[in-house]
Amino acid sequence: MNAGAKFAIGALLIVGSVGYLMASGIKQTGQYFLTPSELSRKVAVDPSFYDVGMKVGAHVVRGTVSKDVATQTLSFTISDGTASYPVTFHGLPPDTFNDSVEVVVEGRLKQDGVIHATNVLAKCGSRYEAVPKA
Amino acid sequence: MTTLGTLALWVAFLIGIWGALVGFIGSARGRIDLQRSSRNAVFTMCGALLTAAFSLEWALFHHDFNVEYVAAYTSRNLPIFYTWSALYAGQKGSLLFWATVLATFGSLAQVLTARRHAVYLPWVAAVVCTVTTFFVTVMLFAANPFSRLPYTPLDGSGLNPQLQNPGMVFHPPMLYLGYISMTIPFAFAIAALASKKLDSDWLVAIRKWTLVSWLFLSIGLVLGMWWAYVELGWGGYWAWDPVENAALLPWLTMTAFLHSVMIQEKRGMLKKWNLALVIGSWLLSIMGTFITRSGVISSVHSFTESPVGYYFAFFLIASAIASFTLYTRRLPLLTAEAKLESMVSREATFLFNNLLLVGIAFSVLWGTLFPILSEAVQGTKVTVGPPFFNQVNIPLGLGLLALTGIGPLIAWRRASVPNLRRQFAVPVTAGVFTGLALLVSGMRDFYALMAISIGGFVLATVAQEFARGTRARHRQYHESYVVALGRLLGRNRRRYGGYIVHTGIVVLFVAFAGMAFKTETEATLKPGQSASIRSPFGWTYTFTHLGISQYDQLNRQVTAATIEIRRDGKRLGLLTTEKRQHVDALGRPTFQPSTEVGIHSDLREDLYVVLGGVVNGTEQAVFRFTINPLVWWVWYGGMIVALGGLIVMWPGGGSPAVKRAQAGYAVRLVAEG
């Protein structure tokens, strides 16, 4: 077998393992990214969407944030205008979190209808601009 | 001054269009007069854009809050250091910064390029004019940094507190310089394709420019990691955020190019591949800008959603089509002058290195774009996060690290078995012993073990190369070992500088492996109470909350918690972590409160303490304590990489004849070695 063919086998091995790692990686770690209304539609037709790790992107409903510093519990409601879900989160929220930001909540929707978040990312309209004075 | 700025932008716009038109026509028809005009257009644009940038800085420093940009990113009480850096803090300003630097680099390329590469310069001028004009167009029609407000606010909104960090003054310009300077090698590649002068000459012309952008990008990436680590407070330095990925992508493809270019120089192979890498790297840099600006992919860094994204999408697609059309038409001229002779040769290991680098780049690109792709195909957005990138890239990265050691040990063309035995005996032993030592000391994490063992192997290869080279000079020229080592490095900068870069990469990998042993705990403490955490090195750290103090400082109100740290009962010192509420000139709060992390570092591990919040009216506070092993080695590794890069690029090194002779010497060493 000449060097070119041997090299082709080596190259195929590399390309194959990149492909395999990517495919298995997406299968094992991919998460749905949904809006609350998409989530409510999915849950309505397929109850297996309960208790599945996912991300939900929406805005925080003003006035729903309650923070208990001592127990590090944060609860708030997120909405996209049509559907809304209550969220609870244990831990330190990001600096940019307040009751008027867009958030990406990472966690599971439990049977109690509450999203139990493992991570909350706050996304300002623009992170680098001042929050407009309300 | 803003009138001057806008005027300067219009001048740059018109001159840019002219320069691009006459540049392309003049180069294609061989009209010297048009070529000269295009060259002058580059200089004029550079002058006009410098004027515009100066006008914006003028407005910033004079607090001209009637200018929207000034009002949006600065305030009267902003420290002067950050007033300067507000130039690139926002979308519009960074576009201006980008265009200005590009025109400057374009002018430098016209002036500094050696005479023997001058045939490419008219085409280069045309490409530089085109790209710069694109940026000016975006500013004039979608994001004018000089646009005025209908009223003049008393004070500006101020700069986001997270940008008020020394890292932010250096990190974005470094990254931008890396991104922007990539346009020059791209322009040379287009020049070579368009002019059909595709001998190895164009390679030499662009190699240094590629190194320049590679170096800036490397420094920018490490500074970005440093900024994220000390400022964002989540306890790490790399989160696989789309914007981080966007900067990593061209770095990966450029690293691939810097290796494969050697094969083209030595053996006349891989011409098509190299050109594709240069064009691809540049397109990735534009795509990076598109991702950060368009808001199509949510990222912590993204700017406001704005029409600017569409301009970039259009420009990206148009330039991709144009460059690859040209590329395809020139393919017949890009035939290899040699064939791969053996699997066990330097060429083959470089090819595998390239495949891995491009494979990593592809997986990072795929993961970054996956939300868009999955939504387009399945109708539902699916995202992948750090677990995906780690799962895919750790094994690939380790393979790459191993090749870093293997490549330099294998001879060009074909390596013989005795040669292999001689080259690999010491390094392989070193790697195996590193692994055994770690196993005995109790390390069980597979990837960390692999990373550090392979690191040991690579370091041994580098040491062996230096030792052999030094000994050869010592014997041949009777130089003392120190002189021999100095001259070895000085006269073969490319090769031994490259080894220094490899050393830095090993240090980085070992540091990354350290993060596998990160431990953290959260605690709510009253003054006097403490929390303990056991470090991966076997110590027990005790953190005692001493109390909260509040005071005003510069443009902020600070709430600081003081923590005493003890290691196995022995006092190490105090550490403070803060919540900062930034205020405007009238003392009213602006922005959300931001967290200032308390970090205590030594060579082995960082203690990283974040103040989560204070229970209202008391001194009871919530903390997160993290132990991050080996973080300092990331910064050291970054410095070593930069140092190696500088050595490789350092100008001089004798006449071309001497260089050729030395290249021959280096090749002979490998053949003998």
- Residues B338-386: pLDDT tens digits? 888 787 888 888 999 999 999 999 999 999 888 888 888 888 888 888 8
Run of H or E including B465: helix B446-477
* Chain B residues with beta carbon closer than 8 angstroms to that of A96: 592
- Which alpha helices (DSSP H) does B30-64 contain, by range? 32-61
What is the distance between the alpha carbons of residues B392 and B62, in angstroms, rounded to a whole number? 50
* Chain B residues with beta carbon closer than 8 angstroms to that of A121: 300
Whether residues B363 and A22 touch (CB distance < 8 A) is answered with yes
* Chain B residues with beta carbon closer than 8 angstroms to that of A6: 343
3-state DSSP call for residue B74?
coil
Q: CB–CB of B59/B87 below 8 Å?
A: no
Q: Model's pTM, two decimal places? A: 0.90
- Which alpha helices (DSSP H) does B142-200 contain, by range? 166-181, 183-195
Strands B570-582 and B605-614: unpaired
Residue that the structure tokens 């004849």 belong to: B657
Whether residues B384 and A11 touch (CB distance < 8 A) is answered with no
What type of residue is B542?
T
3-state DSSP call for residue A86?
strand
Q: Is the pLDDT of residue B112 over 70?
A: yes
pLDDT category at B298 given cuts 50, 70, 90 is low
B380 touches chain A (CB under 8 A): yes
pLDDT category at A125 given cuts 50, 70, 90 is very low
Mean pLDDT score, B524-541: 92
What is the distance between the alpha carbons of residues B365 and B383, in angstroms, rounded to a whole number? 13
Q: What is the pLDDT of residue B663?
A: 47
Evaluate whether the domain defined by B1-164 bears CATH number 1.10.10: no
Going by C-alpha positions, the residue among B417, B584, B639 that lies closest to residue B74 is B584
By Cβ distance, the residue of B363, B382, B595 closest to A30 is B382
By Cβ distance, the residue of B157, B162, B362 closest to A130 is B157
Which tokens go with A17?
Answer: 């393992």
By Cβ distance, the residue of B163, B348, B396 closest to A7 is B348
Look over chain B and give the mean of its residue pLDDT values, rounded to a whole number: 88
* Chain A residues with beta carbon closer than 8 angstroms to that of B622: 69-70, 72, 92
* Chain A residues with beta carbon closer than 8 angstroms to that of B158: 130
What is the distance between the alpha carbons of residues B357 and B339, in angstroms, rounded to a whole number? 22
Q: What is the pLDDT of residue B138?
A: 93
How many cross-chain Cβ pairs, A to B, lie less than 8 Å apart?
160
| Nearest residue of chain A to residue B390 (CA atoms) | A25
Which contacts (CB < 8 Å, 24+ apart) does range B539-547 have? B539/B567, B539/B568, B540/B567, B540/B568, B541/B565, B541/B566, B541/B567, B541/B607, B541/B625, B541/B627, B542/B566, B542/B569, B543/B607, B543/B609, B543/B623, B543/B625, B545/B621, B545/B623, B546/B574, B547/B619
Going by C-alpha positions, the residue among B405, B604, B440, B599 that lies closest to residue B511 is B604
Calculate how close chain A gets to B113, using CA atoms only, in Å: 37
Residues of chain B with CATH 1.20.120: 1-164
pLDDT category at B671 given cuts 50, 70, 90 is very low
What is the distance between the alpha carbons of residues A80 and A102, in angstroms, rounded to a whole number? 10
pLDDT category at B307 given cuts 50, 70, 90 is confident
Residues within 8 A of A (CB atoms), B 187-246 only: 233-234
Q: What is the pLDDT of residue B28?
A: 92
Which tokens go with B232?
Answer: 């964002």
Strand ranges in B323-442 using DSSP code E only, listed in sequence order: 381-383
* Chain A residues with beta carbon closer than 8 angstroms to that of B301: 127
Please state the φ and ψ torsions of residue B525, each to the nearest 5 degrees. Answer: -125, 140
Which tokens go with B251?
Answer: 């770095």
Question: How far lies A1's CA from each of A10, B103, B343, in Å?
Answer: 13, 52, 11
DSSP labels for B247-311? HHHHHHHHHHHHHHHHHHHHH---HHHHHHHHHHHHHHHHHHHHHHHH-SS--TT-----THHHH
Q: pLDDT for B166-186, tens place per residue?
A: 877 888 889 889 999 999 999
What is the distance between the alpha carbons of residues A83 and A103, in angstroms, rounded to a whole number? 15
Residues within 8 A of A (CB atoms), B 436-495 only: none
Q: pLDDT for B503-519, tens place per residue?
A: 999 999 999 999 999 99
B590 touches chain A (CB under 8 A): yes
Whether residues B160 and A127 touch (CB distance < 8 A) is answered with yes
Mean pLDDT score, B257-268: 88
Give the other-Cβ count within 10 Å of B439's Cβ.
12
Mean pLDDT score, B93-117: 91
Give the other-Cβ count within 10 Å of B172's Cβ.
21
Question: How far lies B670's CA from each of B257, B341, B409, B427, B494, in Å?
Answer: 22, 17, 8, 16, 15
Strands B594-596 and B598-601: unpaired
Q: Is the pLDDT of residue B83 over 50?
A: yes
Residue that the structure tokens 């409601």 belong to: A77
Please state the φ and ψ torsions of residue B482, each to the nearest 5 degrees. Answer: -65, -50
| Nearest residue of chain A to residue B301 (CA atoms) | A127
* Chain B residues with beta carbon closer than 8 angstroms to that of A71: 524
Going by C-alpha positions, the residue among B551, B616, B615, B545 that lies closest to residue B580 is B551
Calculate how close chain B gets to A111, using CA atoms only, in Å: 22
Q: pLDDT for B120-175, tens place per residue?
A: 999 999 999 999 999 999 999 988 999 999 988 888 888 878 788 787 788 888 98
By Cβ distance, the residue of B382, B391, B524 closest to A72 is B524
3-state DSSP call for residue B236?
coil
> Poorest-confidence range of B99-113, B303-317, B626-640?
B303-317
Q: What is the pLDDT of residue A115?
A: 92
B396 touches chain A (CB under 8 A): yes
The DSSP 8-state label assigned to residue B673 in this structure reads -
Please state the φ and ψ torsions of residue B76, each to the nearest 5 degrees. Answer: -60, -35
Q: Is the pLDDT of residue B485 over 60?
A: yes
Question: How far lies A22's CA from each of A11, B242, B374, B387, B389, in Å?
Answer: 17, 17, 14, 11, 9
Calculate how close chain B gets to A56, using CA atoms only, in Å: 10
Q: What is the rounded (10 degree) CA torsion for B62, B66, B69, B75?
A: 50
B614 touches chain A (CB under 8 A): yes
pLDDT category at B652 given cuts 50, 70, 90 is low
- What are the domain boundaries of chain A? 1-30, 31-123
* Chain B residues with beta carbon closer than 8 angstroms to that of A34: 380-381
Strands A31-34 and A53-60: parallel
What type of residue is B16?
G
Residues forming a β-bridge with B593: none
What is the distance between the alpha carbons of residues B18 and B30, in angstroms, rounded to a whole number? 17
Residues of chain B with CATH 2.60.98: 518-632
Residue B385 CA to its chain's centroid (Å) = 21
Calculate how close chain A gets to B163, using CA atoms only, in Å: 8
Q: CB–CB of A102/A125 below 8 Å?
A: yes
Q: pLDDT for B563-577, tens place per residue?
A: 999 999 999 999 999
Which CATH architecture does the domain made up of B518-632 adopt?
Sandwich (2.60)
Question: How far lies B582's CA from each of A116, B301, B590, in Å?
Answer: 32, 20, 6
Calculate how close chain A gets to B505, using CA atoms only, in Å: 21
Q: Is the pLDDT of residue B396 over 60?
A: yes
Whether residues B90 and A128 touch (CB distance < 8 A) is answered with yes
Q: What is the rounded (10 degree) CA torsion for B19, B23, B25, B27?
A: 170
| Nearest residue of chain B to residue A101 (CA atoms) | B592
The DSSP 8-state label assigned to residue B339 in this structure reads -
Whether residues A123 and B304 touch (CB distance < 8 A) is answered with no
What is the distance between the alpha carbons of residues B298 and B586, in angstroms, rounded to a whole number? 34
3-state DSSP call for residue A19?
helix
Whether residues B388 and A25 touch (CB distance < 8 A) is answered with yes
* Chain A residues with beta carbon closer than 8 angstroms to that of B269: none
Calculate how close chain A gets to B152, using CA atoms only, in Å: 16
| Nearest residue of chain A to residue B233 (CA atoms) | A94
Residue B182 CA to its chain's centroid (Å) = 12
| Nearest residue of chain B to residue A131 (CA atoms) | B591
Whether residues B381 and A32 touch (CB distance < 8 A) is answered with yes
CATH fold of A31-123? OB fold (Dihydrolipoamide Acetyltransferase, E2P) (2.40.50)
3-state DSSP call for residue B147?
coil
Residue that the structure tokens 């041997």 belong to: A6
Residue that the structure tokens 């694109």 belong to: B134
B218, with CB counted inside 10 A (0-12, 13-18, 19+), is buried
